[in-house]
Amino acid sequence: MKNEHPSRHDQFTDDQRSRRDFLRYLLATGALAAGAGAFSRVGHAAGFADALGYSPKYPANFNAFNYVNPDAPKGGRLSLSVFGNFDSLNPFVLKGLAASGLNELCFESLTARAWDEPFSAYGLLADRADLAADGLSITFRINAKARFYDGSPVTARDVLFSFNTLMSKQAHPRYRIYWADIAGTELTDARHVRFSFKRVNPELHLIIGELPVFSERWLAGRDFASLSREAFLTSGPYRVGRVDYGNTITYERNPDYWAKDLDVRRGQFNFDQIVFKYYKDETVSLEAFKAGEFDVFYETNSKRWARDYTGANFDDGRIIRREIPHKNNAGMQGFGMNTRQALFSDRRVRRALDLALDFGWSNTHLFYGQYTRCDSYFSNSELACRGLPQGDELALLEPFKAQLPPELFREPYQVPVANNPAEQRANLLKARDLLAEAGWRVEEGVLKNAEGQPFSFEITLAMRGFERIVAPYAYNLKRLGIEVSYRTIDVSLYQRKMDRFEFDMAVVAYGESQSPGNELRDRFGSAAAHTDGSSNYMGIDSPVVDALIDRVIYAKSRAELVTACRALDRVLLWGEYLVPNWYIGAHRLAWWNRFGFHQPLPLYFDAMTWVMQTWWQVYEHPQKQSKGHLEKPTALSDCVVACSFTRSWLKPAPRLST
């Protein structure tokens, strides 16, 4: 679950990480890794990795991850921007909008993941994990050196308390969905805690390792659900410093951080201070960056990327502008329809709305040719369905044939394509026919149903950058007689509406992992459709989807998982729950040239987390680069030119691309 295309309300922020972050690190084909404290599986030396044909990359007692500089100097200050607002320091409850950076910098989990592997777990707060031979329980041993920032030890009791808190009704409901297969917990002694499973779930022993751990002693007597403006006692490398709600938050590095010399932390978290500055306008934010008000800018807007990164500081290399490659699964971004509403209950209507989007025109005239159309919920991966269902996938779908559209078995799914105005007119004619089949007729230019009610709805937005994209879409819909309005609202209000499903259509995005699993219940499961705060925005309530999600979660091999994902993808696509948007296969990043980072780059990563966690300060003030450096074809290496002179909860938050 990760990449630059957002999922849930985090979609509208440049690096807004809130309550969902600990659920984001699901980049997957999973291994409980040896190393970093000798993780083991009873009776199986290499653990789950053997089952999926994937062994952890790093051996026991490795020095540092390959994409970090183990000797990176400490010091300096990093300033970043966030689009939106915040009013809380608690990212684990439904209420409020939590500050960016809390999960990455302050809270810690039992395990840490490597960004150059699909999904492996290395010990952090836990230094050992023993998976039972039957796969029905896992026991974690807490690292004896683990400490909260006040010096108090992290204990197994803290782990148990944290789990029980997050599974309670005080916490965000997503955790209860995510860890639904946990049957029970048990303290075996002061350092050991056991989690028992309801059934064998191939990734459950990995994702329970993502559990953020709180101090029971500190939280005792506090109301977790209403705790919002008091900084938690945490064990991570930073603690909360100055807070100006809605404007800035500063994190201060803990020089006595207990894990600073641990293999999974060496060379990371190098800045003495990390500051997030909040902006309510994206254009204002970019201009503030160019004026030097903060250090790194993550661009989500194709027009700005093509036209606005100019000036003397770009010419002489004081500001560097690069597309940073990654191998993240592109997932899906689209205009999601709230099928809880009668207006969107008919699949033919939803397909008609899809046919009205002219992506080809938008990509040429609005996006400068930067994007590829999303054609799958697992776009740009082997998990995407292709052609007709065959073999094992067909066998998986056959039992549900009576509940699925007949076309699913006869035709490959295709997102509408229009390479010229004539083809778009043809798409609109198809849309008109589908609407007529569904009982809608045009009267005096207005599409109405049998009761004379007009077809009208609102598109809710949180980014003004989407207005220029929605405008031509609304124009095409008007040609069908549909009245569409669109409104950009405050981030806090947007989140509240999305949490409560109080919208007609909105931009949604699901950044996927290399091996999806339990998070799919929250996104597409029937129970989540009726749970406030879930990511099932479209209200998908389908026993077929539920059954296929289970086939993904309980797949016993990579081949089974791929087959189940393709079947699920096909069913979701033919359900026409959203109008697919677009993706880009790189992170668009600009920064003032005073930092270093290490190569090789990671593979599966969120750009701003990578910046916060692995970069370091080389110069106090930005340096020029020679013109020759800027013109090199392999320009990415220029990103570390400066440093070479002196020496380099939950998935990454996807970001909306406009």
Q: Taking the complete model, does pTM exceed 0.95, yes or no?
A: no
Residue 56's pLDDT band, with cuts at 50, 70 and 90, is confident
- Beta pairing partners, 202: none
pLDDT at 640: 29
Lowest-pLDDT range of 174-178, 397-401, 467-471, 628-632: 628-632
8 A C-beta contact, residue 352 and residue 480: yes
For domain 14-325+586-652, say whether CATH 3.40.190.10 is its number: yes
pLDDT at 616: 98
Give the C-alpha distances (Å, rounded to integers) separating 302 from 229, 372, 465.
36, 12, 10
Handedness of CA 28, 176, 492, 486 (dihedral sign): positive
Task: List, for residues 141-182, the tens digit of each pLDDT value.
Answer: 999 999 999 999 999 999 999 999 999 999 999 999 999 999
Q: At residue 448, does pLDDT exceed 50?
A: yes
pLDDT at 651: 39
Task: List, for residues 189-244, the tens digit of each pLDDT value.
Answer: 999 999 999 999 988 999 999 999 999 999 998 999 999 999 999 999 999 999 99
pLDDT at 644: 25
Pick from 102, 465, 88: nearest CA to 280: 465
pLDDT at 465: 86
* Tally of CB atoms within 10 A around 184: 10
Q: Which contacts qualify for 392-398: CB closer than 8 Å, 24 or more apart? A: 392/559, 392/560, 392/563, 393/563, 393/566, 393/567, 393/570, 396/548, 396/551, 396/563, 396/564, 396/567, 397/567, 397/570, 397/571
pLDDT at 656: 66
pLDDT at 107: 98
pLDDT at 14: 31
Residue 334's pLDDT band, with cuts at 50, 70 and 90, is very high
pLDDT at 655: 61
Give ∠ CA 525-531-533 in degrees, rounded to 5: 105
Lowest-pLDDT range of 204-208, 260-264, 619-623, 652-656: 652-656
Phi, psi of 212 (to 5 degrees): -75, 140
Handedness of CA 58, 62, 64, 66 (dihedral sign): negative
Q: Could you say which of 3.10.180.10, 3.10.105.10, 3.40.1280.10, 3.40.50.2020 is the CATH number of the domain covering 332-583?
A: 3.10.105.10
**DSSP secondary structure string for all residues of 97-139:** -BPTTHHHHT--BSEEE-TTSSSEEEESSEEEEEE-TTSSEEE
8 A C-beta contact, residue 374 and residue 354: no
Residues ≥6 apart with Cβ < 8 Å to 141:
126, 127, 128, 129, 191, 192
State which amino acid sits at residue 462: A
pLDDT at 54: 65
Query: What DSSP character marks residue 486?
Result: E
Give the domain ranges of the chain.
Answer: 14-325+586-652, 332-583
E-only strand ranges, 157-237? 182-189, 192-197
> What is the percent of the chain with per-residue pLDDT over 90, rounded to a whole number?
80
At which residue do the structure tokens 């074809």 appear?
633
What 3-state class would DSSP assign to 253?
strand
> 332-583: same fold as 14-325+586-652?
no
More confident position, 532 or 30? 532
Tokens, residue 242: 């100055």
pLDDT at 20: 31
pLDDT at 515: 84
